[in-house]
Chain A
Amino acid sequence: MKKIKIAHLYYDLMNLYGENGNVRYLVDKLEKQGFDVTLYFLTVDDKIDFNEYDFYYMGTGSEDNKKIVLQDIIKYKDDIREAIDKGKFFLITGNSIDLFGKHIEELNGEIIETLNVFDYSVKEEDFRIVGEQFYRVPFIDYKVIGFQNRNSVINGYEKPLFDIVKGTGYKPNDKKEGILKKHFWGTYLLGPILVRNPYLTDYLVEEICKYLDIPYKEMANDVSYRAYHEYLKNFDIDEI
């Protein structure tokens, strides 16, 4: 049985929006593919080896917690860049993507250096961006659904993961959102986006299978697919 290791990064700090749903759902899907999955919960003061795991997940946290994480994760900046270049999988959701740019400009104008993995800068705003989101993604026909609740915007990034159908992009009036490089996915969508988007998860699982060289098996649709379709129906949004 092929082994796969998932690292839930800073699980006890970046967990404001049911983030555990993502890893639980992913583990279930990978087990259905026949993987022997081990889930690791890692946080401040743990030694995080960015060679060790196949998939890294980090979710949304309070602004204070985001900065506690920054103090710890900054020492891994070169390791993270290398892991992304090697094709390791990253899913970074909500305000944790703020940590992967060049810097964060705080409300008081102070600049905080961040991981500098990507060439964008983040600015904290005195307003919040809150609401349902509907996106297109090039890999699948079905739309991506989710929710945003943030007080930061991204400037200077040009390799989007998503096109906005309805919602907010990197900053208000932007029609693009998300960070994409090899198998790195970053997005301001928060919470259990894999559960909410079963077709996107199917694609992700297929990519993981390819990367780890095992044949992908079609999976039976569980209730999460029905939840996805009903949600779109509720909001009167076309699926495709």
Chain B
Amino acid sequence: MMKLGLMIIINKLITRICKLFGKNGSVYPGYIIYDVLRQKKILEKIKYPRYVIAVTGSSGKGSTTDLINHILTDNGYDVCYNKNGSNGVLAATTLILNNCNIRGEFLHEVLLLECDERHLKLIFGENKMTHLIVTNVTRDQPARNGDPDIVFNDILKAIGNETKLIINADDPLVNRLTYLYGNDRITYGVAKTKDSYLKSSIEAVDYAYCPRCYKKLIYDYYHYGHIGNYHCPSGDFKRGNVDYEVTDVSFEEHRIKINGDDIYLNKDVLYAVYYTLAAYALCNYIGVSKEDLKKAINGDKLSTKRGKVRELDGRKLTMLETKNENNLSYYQSLRFIKNQKGKKTIILGFDNVSRRYQFNDLSWLWDVEFELLNDKNIDKIFIIGRFRYDVLTRLSFANIDKKKLVLIDDLNELIKKVKSDSVGDIYTMVCFDMTANILKLIEDDENEEN
């Protein structure tokens, strides 16, 4: 206990020092405790509160966590959560120790963590989590994660008998949890929408076969990737009915229905439907009434952090942060752009595939359904970044009019070219580092204009 107290004090001290030096300090203290002082089991010694809620999956976990925090806080719960999005074991160590007293007792009623899917097992030993949401498991950063089966098997290592599961049943890979575990659980899913489809133009789905008998799953419809409504022809496995279901998706009105109740959608994309549904299901499961849920989501609306909207030269510019090596992140951005009205100009490309590692595998470009850019309302597509010729090669196979494709060799020329050579609303579909670069170019341009 003495040692635990000492570690908590060290963690808090280092956090203060980081802040004194103007650093965020969300990871470094945890690094000292976990890696340098080799306290790998320290999180197992904490006396956790009544609710320990983890949200994991390949995408959507940050937005789901934000909305759960919003709902629970609105309903009077005392929530501690990783709002800056640092979601590995070092960040979790920092956060948890900073919110304990020296006896190792956690000081809030709810610990809510967005967790990296490969780190979940390092953060929580068995039976530490009271609730676990698994949003989806899809191909994502393969240089780090390997394949989706590896990710799923890692998630399994953190699940104990007591963990209540909140399962996205539309994802057959995640839905395996329903037969692998006898735990208390609820399921959620989205009914067919106007964007659902029967067959994608690229067959790059991450999960196509029944996990029990290896027959090919039959889909009634897909939402994206392998997410949809499916069943095994042998009757061994299916999405089936879910406990919480979204119907009547209206992006125009920012509305969905969850089990018949009208619920506000703070972003007009499908992934927002999923994070709203997951947050609603979890909060209702732990006791927030439907009335209180509606008040929290519909009354006190949560703004979104993604899809920032600005202006460039009097034209609307929407920045869609889009993750490399994740074809479904691109799909959602492409689908969003496709659904927008009027003339459009796109900016896409990257200097580095990842900010987490040096590898630059480019194969995923062929898993992205760039064919969705074959749209008569698209005026120009500006291709930027170090791998622009690889991107252009891929786009030249996407049935897009070649006259629309513009290579930008010098990024400093981008804004000038966009202004002079294109029309319509502008959409950037780039990863984090390039978002910052483009923002800087826009700000420089604004300063020049002034």
Question: Which residues of chain A have a CB within 8 Å of any CB of chain B?
Answer: 11-13, 15-21, 24-25, 28, 41, 43-45, 61-65, 68, 71, 128, 130-132, 147, 149, 151, 190-192, 195-196, 222-224, 226-227, 230-231, 234
Contact = CB atoms under 8 A, between A and B. Distances in A.
A212 B387 CA distance: 36
The 4 nearest A-B residue pairs measured at CB? A191-B363, A18-B366, A21-B366, A227-B389
B366 A63 contact: no
B362 A196 contact: yes
Contacts of A230: 387, 389-390
Nearest to A61: B147
A130 B359 contact: yes
13 contacts: A12-B208, A17-B364, A18-B365, A20-B367, A21-B363, A62-B148, A64-B149, A68-B209, A130-B143, A223-B396, A230-B389, A231-B387, A234-B386
Interface in B344-388: 359-367, 386-387
Given A15-B205, A44-B216, A68-B214, 18 more contacts: A12-B216, A16-B139, A17-B142, A18-B364, A19-B366, A20-B366, A21-B365, A21-B394, A24-B397, A28-B397, A63-B150, A128-B146, A190-B361, A191-B366, A222-B393, A223-B389, A226-B389, A230-B389
Contacts of B142: 16-17, 149
A216 B393 CA distance: 23
Residue among B150, B202, B362, B363 having the largest count of chain A Cβ atoms under 10 Å: B363
Q: What interface size band does chain B fall in? A: 35 or more
Contacts of A41: 203
A79 B260 CA distance: 57
A116 B167 CA distance: 42
A10 to B, nearest CB: 10
A9 to B, nearest CB: 13
Contacts of A192: 363, 366
B204 interface: yes
A227 B390 contact: yes
A71 B364 CA distance: 27
Contact of B393 (A63, A65, A147, A223): A223
Contacts of B204: 15, 18, 20
Contacts of A195: 366, 393
Given A18-B366, A21-B366, A222-B396, A147 B361 contact: yes
A132 B387 CA distance: 15
B277 to A, nearest CB: 27
B403 to A, nearest CB: 14
Nearest to B327: A18
B381 to A, nearest CB: 14
Contacts of B366: 18-21, 24, 191-192, 195
Interface of B: 139, 142-143, 146-150, 202-206, 208-209, 214, 216, 359-367, 386-387, 389-390, 392-394, 396-397
A63 B394 CA distance: 27
A125 B377 CA distance: 50
A239 to B, nearest CB: 14
A222 B390 CA distance: 12
B359 A132 contact: yes
A71 B213 CA distance: 12
A18 B391 CA distance: 13
A147 B149 contact: no
Contacts of A18: 204, 363-367
A162 to B, nearest CB: 18
Given A191-B363, A226-B389, A16 B147 contact: yes
Contacts of B208: 12-13
Contacts of A64: 149
Nearest to A130: B143
Q: Give the residue among A64, A130, A131, A230 with the most B Cβ atoms within 10 A.
A: A64
Pick the most buried of B147, B204, B386, B396: most chain A CB atoms within 10 A of its CB: B147
Nearest to A189: B363
Given A149-B143, A192-B363, A227 B392 contact: yes
B363 A147 contact: yes
B393 A227 contact: yes
B168 to A, nearest CB: 19
A128 B150 CA distance: 12
A221 to B, nearest CB: 12
Q: Taking each of A147, A151, A223, A234, which has the highest tally of chain B beta carbons within 10 Å of its own beta carbon?
A: A223
Contact of A12 (B203, B365, B387): B203
A44 B203 contact: no
Contacts of B362: 147, 191, 196
A190 B363 contact: yes
A223 B361 CA distance: 18
Contact of B203 (A15, A28, A224, A227): A15
A132 B360 contact: yes
A44 B362 CA distance: 28
B203 A62 contact: no
Given A28-B397, A44-B216, A222-B396, A17 B146 contact: no
A25 B206 CA distance: 22
Contacts of B363: 17-19, 21, 147, 190-192
A190 B143 CA distance: 12
A30 to B, nearest CB: 14
A196 B362 CA distance: 9
A189 to B, nearest CB: 10
Contacts of A227: 387, 389-390, 392-393
A20 B360 CA distance: 19
Interface centre among B216, B360, B366 (most CB of A within 10 A): B366
B398 to A, nearest CB: 10
Given A16-B142, A43-B216, A226-B389, A62 B396 contact: no
